[in-house]
Structure 1
Amino acid sequence: MRDLLVTALFFYGAIKAFRHPYFAALLWVWIGLMNPHRLGWGFAHSVPFAMVAFLVMAVSMFMHPKEVKWPRSGPLTVFILFAVWVCITTVFAIHVPESVGLLIATLKMMLVTLMIATIVRTREEILGLVVVIAVSIGFFGVKGGFFTLSTGGAFRVWGPPSSVIEDNNELAVALIITIPLLYYLILQKDKLVSMLPFLSKVGAKWLKRMLLASIALCAVSALGSHSRGALLAIVAMSSMLWWRSKSKLTVGLVLLILSPAIILFMPEEWTSRMSTIKTYDEDSSAMGRLNAWTMAINIANSRLMGAGFANDSPLIYQMYAPDPNFVIVAHSIYFQVLGQHGYIGLGLYLLFWILTYRTAGRLMTKTRERPEWEWVWQLAGMIKVSIVGFAVGGAFLSLAFWDMPFYFMVVLVVSEKWVDDRLYVEAGTGQAQSGVREGAGRTGVAS
């Protein structure tokens, strides 16, 4: 039944995608983030839906070139430079064949990200993209939240099978950075009801309640993952939400009340695991990460272009790691990029995220005094919160090339283009009106 449902939804989306490339973008994001076909056990489990979605998007863009517009932006430029650099580093990788395979997967993700940035244009399309992103990940938060509550947090919550966020730690960070998007949907509940006819029966009031429940369940699910990095990300993101809130006292009291309640609800195993944050030197997992991070530094110090994508092999650990027998992945987006692509690669990666964060800040400045553009101001603010959550949570996970965070950049870039287009029209209209007034004045003097 699940296989038939997913296949039917996919082909319905594909039919609409041939008419408008935007629907192809939504189709790709849904399949790529949620992996709904992996939730079944029949024929759909192994169908290459992602490949089909990519082909549909490419064909649709070719059929409708007028709906494809390239947005110029600093983050996009650095994004392309970073893609070029990882191609160069792969040529000089230690394990070239393995690195080439990973490079192809990475370039496919980066290419589709650029394609999506050229397709999304209107407010409705931007909001629709946010909805698909939030729902695709939020589904597992709701599911995992109920599981955690029903089991008292005794078991860990896992992500969608055969996906980048299958592991409990990766899922937890994914849920954390989704929460601000779900909150943004609450702020846009009236617009959502007007956009999506089937929500008119639900109503804005009940939609808000459903989204609030989803946020709570996502938070419970993230804690139920037993991820220490997720706990740190929650603290960082909650602090930023409190700082940005207009009702700091109310939000602060809610956080103070909920924190002890959550800790008391979770089992002793969870509390013991979280307490190892203070005693990391006694935890084998933490020491393994330090070993991998030291290896990444040693690689970057001796190889300008790093070791390539496939750098978690016994051979490379023998060459650069303090403990050559403890072989694990980097467990950090920063050390992952550093070990794979050297200091230049890390510099480009950090520059990309700095420029993306600054784009959000610039958007908030442009729209702060424009009530009619409040939706952009709110969106930029929530994405800033999500970026902080990813920056902290990603410090302990190898998620440097996961596609969801890059969609934050896409949303910000296309939103800024939307705003700039309207500012340009206003400026042109103002100049035209000024020219008419000046011409009228000169005519009056001559007469």
Structure 2
Amino acid sequence: MRDLMMLGMMMIIVPIALSNAFAAYLVWGWTSVIAVPYYMWGFMGSLRYNLFFALVTLLLLVVGKSVDKSPFRLNRTSVLILLFVAHVTVSAVLADASARNNFSIYTDLLKSITYCLVMFLFVNSRLRLHAMLIAIALGLGFHGLAEGLKTLVTAGGHKIIGLPGTKMSDNNHFGVALVMALPILLYLYQYSKVRLVRWGFLGVLLATVLAVIGSRSRGAFLAMALLAFMLMLTSRRKGMASLFVMLGVALVLVLSPESWFQRIETIGSADQDASFMGRVEAWNVATALALQNPVFGTGFHAMQSGELWFGVRPSDGLLGGLLGSASLSTHARAAHSIYFEVLGDHGFVGLLLFLAIMGNAFVTALQIRRMTAYRSDLLWARDMSDALALSCFAFTVGGAGVSLAYFETYYVVVCLLEALRQYVLAQLRPASGRSLPGVRVASEPAGADKRLQAP
């Protein structure tokens, strides 16, 4: 039945994509997040949806069938990303021979970066920015809704294992990815015009909170807690933000099983937790490999090979002193941190470029805040930049404990911030004065914030 439903959807989506390059681009991004084959049981599960819509998009670009396409211009974000890609390309070529997944991870990253760079050709209006957020929400939000409902009907007993065959195949990766979606879902709730759609996004938001609980991920919980604090700190509507945070806390208290609370309590005694100390050991191995290969590292996920893992001693790394008398692993592990993952894979230079991309995202969000401070017609842009910055914040915090450095959605969010900045700059230029189709200004008393709502 699922396969027949997907076949019916594709019969509608494919003709639309073939007639509109931006529509094809949206579906390209959506299929990379939703992982369609995971939900299919039959003949529709073997199709390469993402590749098909990527080729359709690029073909329509080549033959000139795209509407309202902007010329590609380098900007600060794209330059940093291209520098990072150039560096990891050399790293992949020079990778240690034991890095068995080196080129498969490298090619996946190239595909993700290609998608992000194409964004600057397409996403040049408020409507398209809004559509990009919807595509992310329909991807990550679908997982949050499905798993959140399972958590609800089992009164918190459902345990999420992730999506096999994707970058969210681990419950911790899955939980962090869902936390990234929360501020985007909140923005869509605030700015969708149709009431039914607004309440739909609210429902998905609450279900996603439940899904984070169901993931049993301490890192995702910590990221969600810090995200709630940052939301109350940065939101223009602090009353509404506080209300949502209290609602989320109520859901956690009511639906979380005792075993979940016991697991979360171990955060306070991390030095006695074998799982956490295993992470410290992995971080130490990553630093040891980076010290041996400071410029280009050892290649994508090379540290997961036994040859490299057991080829270093605890004293070779920068964190060896933290291990104390902890028992060492009998097998190679993942880096369990986006920062140590990049450090071990691509050396200190690669980590600096990775941090530069991250820092640039927050600088871009602050610039958008400044540029829109005295423009009531652009307050929506400030709110969107806040949502995207909070999504990046969730990644930086939650990613500290998971190997998710090459997660496509993060780079998409970073590039969306740049696309939003470019749009705001265009609106601030003299003699703009154009209205956007399908966008209205909410009627409010004089002097009050005017909220623009996109469909």
TM-score normalised by the chain length of structure 1: 0.87
Tell me how far 1:272 sits from its aligned partner: 1.3
Aligned to 1:336: 341
Q: Alpha carbons of 1:116 and 1:10: their partners in 2 closer, same or farther (altered >3 Å)?
A: farther
Deviation readout 1:124-149 (Å, 9 max, x if unpaired): 11111110101211111111111111
Deviation readout 1:215-264 (Å, 9 max, x if unpaired): 11111110111000011101110010110234546754764575366235
Aligned to 2:453: none
Aligned to 2:272: 282
* Matched residue SS, 1:319: coil
Aligned to 1:134: 137
Aligned to 2:284: 294
Q: Alpha carbons of 1:253 and 1:142: their partners in 2 closer, same or farther (altered >3 Å)?
A: closer
Question: Of 296, 306, 322, which aligns to 1:314?
Answer: 306
**Residues 340-379 of structure 1 aligned to structure 2 (within 5 Å):** 340-379=345-384
Question: Of 392, 403, 412, which aligns to 2:408?
Answer: 403
Deviation readout 1:23-58 (Å, 9 max, x if unpaired): 121111111000123201011111111211221111
- 1:185 partner amino acid: L
Deviation readout 1:84-105 (Å, 9 max, x if unpaired): 0001111221126641232122
- Whether the aligned pair in 1 keeps the contact of 2:77 and 2:415 (CA below 8 Å) is no
- Whether the aligned pair in 2 keeps the contact of 1:356 and 1:412 (CA below 8 Å) is yes
Q: Does 1:159 align with 2:162?
A: yes
* Matched residue SS, 2:166: coil
* Matched residue SS, 2:310: helix
Q: Aligned equivalents of 2:7 and 2:73: distance in 1? A: 33
- Whether the aligned pair in 1 keeps the contact of 2:32 and 2:50 (CA below 8 Å) is yes
- In our comparison, the structure showing a higher alpha carbon Rg is 1
Aligned to 2:324: none
- 1:351 partner amino acid: A
Aligned to 1:144: 147
Aligned to 1:434: none
Tell me how far 1:333 sits from its aligned partner: 0.6
Give aligned pairs, total: 416
Q: Does 1:19 align with 2:19?
A: yes
Q: Aligned equivalents of 2:135 and 2:394: distance in 1? A: 20
Q: Aligned equivalents of 2:405 and 2:11: distance in 1? A: 31
- Whether the aligned pair in 2 keeps the contact of 1:93 and 1:308 (CA below 8 Å) is yes
* Matched residue SS, 1:278: helix
Aligned to 1:198: none
- 1:3 partner amino acid: D
Aligned to 1:82: 84
Q: Which runs of 5 or more residues in structure 2 are unaligned? A: 315-327, 434-455
Q: Does 1:224 align with 2:214?
A: yes
* Matched residue SS, 2:386: helix
* Matched residue SS, 2:124: coil
Deviation readout 1:279-312 (Å, 9 max, x if unpaired): 2222222111111100111111111211100311
**Residues 44-443 of structure 1 aligned to structure 2 (within 5 Å):** 44-64=44-64, 67-95=69-97, 98-190=101-193, 204-246=194-236, 248=238, 251-252=241-242, 255=245, 259=249, 262-263=252-253, 265-304=255-294, 305-311=296-302, 312-320=304-312, 322=314, 323=328, 325-426=330-431
Higher helix share: 1
Q: Aligned equivalents of 2:166 and 2:242: distance in 1? A: 36
* Matched residue SS, 1:325: coil
- Range 399-408 or range 250-259, more displaced: 250-259
- Whether the aligned pair in 1 keeps the contact of 2:172 and 2:215 (CA below 8 Å) is yes
* Matched residue SS, 2:431: helix
* Matched residue SS, 1:426: coil
Q: Alpha carbons of 1:109 and 1:101: their partners in 2 closer, same or farther (altered >3 Å)?
A: same
Q: Alpha carbons of 1:245 and 1:58: their partners in 2 closer, same or farther (altered >3 Å)?
A: closer
- Whether the aligned pair in 2 keeps the contact of 1:14 and 1:27 (CA below 8 Å) is no
- 2:94 partner amino acid: F
Q: Aligned equivalents of 1:398 and 1:358: distance in 2? A: 24
- Report the RMSD for the aligned CA atoms in angstroms: 2.3
Q: Alpha carbons of 1:115 and 1:281: their partners in 2 closer, same or farther (altered >3 Å)?
A: same
Tell me how far 1:427 sits from its aligned partner: 8.6
Q: Aligned equivalents of 1:308 and 1:46: distance in 2? A: 30
- Whether the aligned pair in 1 keeps the contact of 2:21 and 2:61 (CA below 8 Å) is yes
Aligned to 1:440: none
- 1:361 partner amino acid: L
Q: Alpha carbons of 1:68 and 1:286: their partners in 2 closer, same or farther (altered >3 Å)?
A: same
* Matched residue SS, 1:72: coil
Q: Aligned equivalents of 2:202 and 2:246: distance in 1? A: 18
Q: Alpha carbons of 1:218 and 1:52: their partners in 2 closer, same or farther (altered >3 Å)?
A: same
- 1:23 partner amino acid: A
Deviation readout 1:309-332 (Å, 9 max, x if unpaired): 031110110112534624111111
- Whether the aligned pair in 1 keeps the contact of 2:293 and 2:347 (CA below 8 Å) is yes
| Percentage of identical aligned residues | 28
Q: Aligned equivalents of 1:175 and 1:257: distance in 2? A: 17
Deviation readout 1:188-239 (Å, 9 max, x if unpaired): 112xxxxxxxxxxxxx333322222221111111011100001110111001
Tell me how far 1:174 sits from its aligned partner: 1.3
Q: Alpha carbons of 1:149 and 1:98: their partners in 2 closer, same or farther (altered >3 Å)?
A: closer
Q: Aligned equivalents of 2:120 and 2:17: distance in 1? A: 16
Q: Aligned equivalents of 2:239 and 2:125: distance in 1? A: 36
* Matched residue SS, 1:419: helix
Q: Alpha carbons of 1:257 and 1:105: their partners in 2 closer, same or farther (altered >3 Å)?
A: closer
* Matched residue SS, 2:334: coil
- Whether the aligned pair in 2 keeps the contact of 1:245 and 1:251 (CA below 8 Å) is yes
- Range 120-129 or range 251-260, more displaced: 251-260
